Amino acid sequence: MIRYHRPVRGRFVRGLGSALLLLVVLSATACQKDRGLSWEARFAMPALATRAQLVELRIRRGPCTTMTGEIVYTAEVRPRTTPMVAEPPALEPGIYAFEARAYDDTCTWFARGCEERSLPVADGEHIVVTMAAATASPACMPSECIGGLCRRMDAGMPDSGPPCPSGMGDCNSDPADMCETSLRTTENCGGCGLLCNLPHATESCGEGTCVVVLCDAGWSDCDSDPTNGCETSLATVSACGSCGNACDLTNASSTCSAGTCGFGACRAGYASCDDDTSNGCETAIDSPAHCGGCSTACAGLAPLCTVGIGGTYTCVALCAAPTATNCSSSCVDLATNARNCGTCGNVCTGQHAEGGCAAGLCTVARCDPGWGNCDSDVATGCETPTTTVTDCGSCGSACNVAHGFGRCETGTCEVDECEPGWGDCNGSVGDGCETSVTSAADCGECGTSCSGSTPVCGLRSDGTRACLAACADPAATNCGGTCIDARYDEQNCGSCDNICALTNATSACIQSMCVVGSCDAGFGNCDGMAMNGCETNIRNNAMNCGSCGMVCSGGPNATPDCSGGTCGLECASGFGDCDDEAGNGCERQLNTVTDCGACGNACDPAHATAGCDTGSCRISACDTGWGDCDTSPGSGCETDLLSERTHCGSCGNRCSGGQCCNGVCMMGGSCP
């Protein structure tokens, strides 16, 4: 097995005559026997070397003619800088292609060379890859090209050409140091600028993914989703002390204190008569034994218990309207009584809910504190906790905090934590963390102003902001007392107050230039120019339908059409696309009796021969003995001219007496 080690140098050297060579020497060893190998990439002409901004080196499995072979090694070389390369893998014996491609400053590769070898090679063999001029091919749009590399702005990684090593990113877009930033820190977790800052948690960035290490006291990651941290308060009745531990007492509301469920209050119509709140309110107080209370019993001349208006309980002798129905010695109104709804014994109940009855049908009268009937389903009761950031105080009331995280423990949205660089200086949850704490007025925290000998707000070496005498970072610019990096600040891109605000796009500032970070839904940056943002509506553009460059094709009797980002056809007048095959256009004329005015609109009038004129069905001729007396093509030749007295033999020929016999008016009671 051969292992190709890190290149010791990548540089321009003088070769024979005046030709410029790009020399890359790689050492190699064999497991069975020491064996030396070096390979270099050179330009066929000096003009090609002058144009080069970057050279990509690759080793692929298979011959040079197979472009789909697995890439087992890739590295990049800057013509005038020390290259950044990754440790190549061990290679099994076999055929490999040694390839080099040159890119210019517009990210267009214009020269290529390839040599193939069967490994292991002869001892000391030297491989030379000569890059000759090739058909120029841009690797990305101009707006995505920085320093000769295509870049994904959201991840800080080259989009084409040699990638960064795993776990590293080019976050400053400086070609001199390339992939300088670890993407396994909480400041750059999986991508440049992607903060790993989870609410109510101690977090870490392992392998480029933000994960929960430990939840804060009183919080838990109940949904096992690391993106929202430890989202669940363990001080609510839906998760009291632990995930899923819902406080649910029989016929009673519940409380949660110090992680332990407690008794709240009995629901209407019930009481706790055994002095044991752990089983809730076990006793119904509409019976003769407990009429309105635990110790009130009905007997003697008033043995029945009736429930009056407003929930009053009275012992009576007989049931009377409106509580005229006797259900087990309780006088009730079947239309409104939740324990006898519609019929005796039909009890309306629901989880975390007080049952109600209206018009003899069960309803949810009210929810227990901390719960909501968000699915409007009586059968599920009050199924949703209203102490979460998605349903805070009521169904669908989200606790969203601008530039921060919210919490909802008691059904009221509060600011829990602000994102780095922001503060809740006015104490109002309505505008969230409204104040940038990166300015001289609020530096690092609300109310800390910079003045005197420390007039600017900048970053210290530990990453925190403080008032300084001057911006400490050489790359920082003092914009109104705030130290900012104008190379990457969207509000001060390249200079103070130069705001990146591109049309139909999310903007980004890269190397002091406003660029398109991402396009709004339905738009595309199809001309590759950042200055006009995402200028193309890709929902209705037949040249860019659904995505840039997606051209809709027409066909016979049709012009291309784009609707909702999907290609279609606009048919010429009198034609239709009846087979839904775009390739043959609008293939069918719409003036036939099978397709009259529209695909599949068949003309089939009763007792007639059909025709089609200008997209409308007509009657060409009536069958013998029939007539179109109502002049409506839809009903065909609807009149029997052989027997109809009002249209005998022809439309409108009325027989004044007698009968119509075989189309002739005849006197008499019947036809011969």
Q: Give residue for tokens 């389903």.
A: 377
The 10s digit of each residue's pLDDT in 181-207 is 888 888 888 877 777 888 888 888 877
Residue 57 in any domain: the answer is yes
Is 564 within a domain?
Answer: no
Q: What is the mean pLDDT of residues 151-180?
A: 59
Compute the C-alpha angle 596/597/598, nearest 5°: 90
Residue 604 lies in a domain: no
Give the Cβ contact number of residue 20 at 10 Å.
Answer: 18
User: Could you read off the pLDDT of 119-135 as tens digits, one per residue?
Assistant: 877 666 778 888 887 76
pLDDT tens profile 554-569: 889 999 989 998 888 8
β-bridge partners, 414: 407
Q: What is the dihedral of CA 345, 350, 355, 356, to 10 degrees?
A: -90
| Tokens 């750059």 belong to residue | 188
Identify the three-state secondary structure at position 635: helix
In a domain, 160, yes or no: no
Does residue 27 form part of some domain? yes
Handedness of CA 474, 478, 481, 483 (dihedral sign): negative
pLDDT tens, residue by residue, 107-123 = 777 888 888 888 877 66
What is the rounded distance in angstroms from the CA atom of residue 648 to the CA atom of residue 662?
A: 8
519: Cα separation from own chain's centroid: 14
Residue 84 lies in a domain: yes
Residues in the chain: 672
3-state secondary structure 45-90: CHHHHHHCCEEEEEEEECCCCCCCCCEEEEEEECCCCCCCECCCCE
Q: Does the structure show a pLDDT above 90 at 32?
A: no
- Which residue range forms the structural domain that includes residue 137? 2-143
Domain presence at residue 14:
yes
- 610-664: per-residue pLDDT in tens? 999 888 899 999 999 999 999 888 899 999 999 998 999 999 999 887 889 999 9
| Terminal C-alpha separation, the chain | 112
Long-range contacts of 295-299 (CB under 8 A, 24+ apart): 298/329
Q: Do residues 423 and 417 make contact, with C-beta atoms less than 8 angstroms apart?
A: no
* Structural domains counted in the chain: 1
The mean per-residue pLDDT over the stretch 531-556 comes to: 89
Question: From residue 339, how far is each of 124, 317, 326, 377, 380 by CA, in Å?
Answer: 96, 21, 12, 19, 18
In a domain, 33, yes or no: yes
- Band (pLDDT 50/70/90 cuts) for residue 144 is low
Q: Average pLDDT over the chain, rounded to whole?
A: 81
Would the pLDDT of 11 be above 70? no
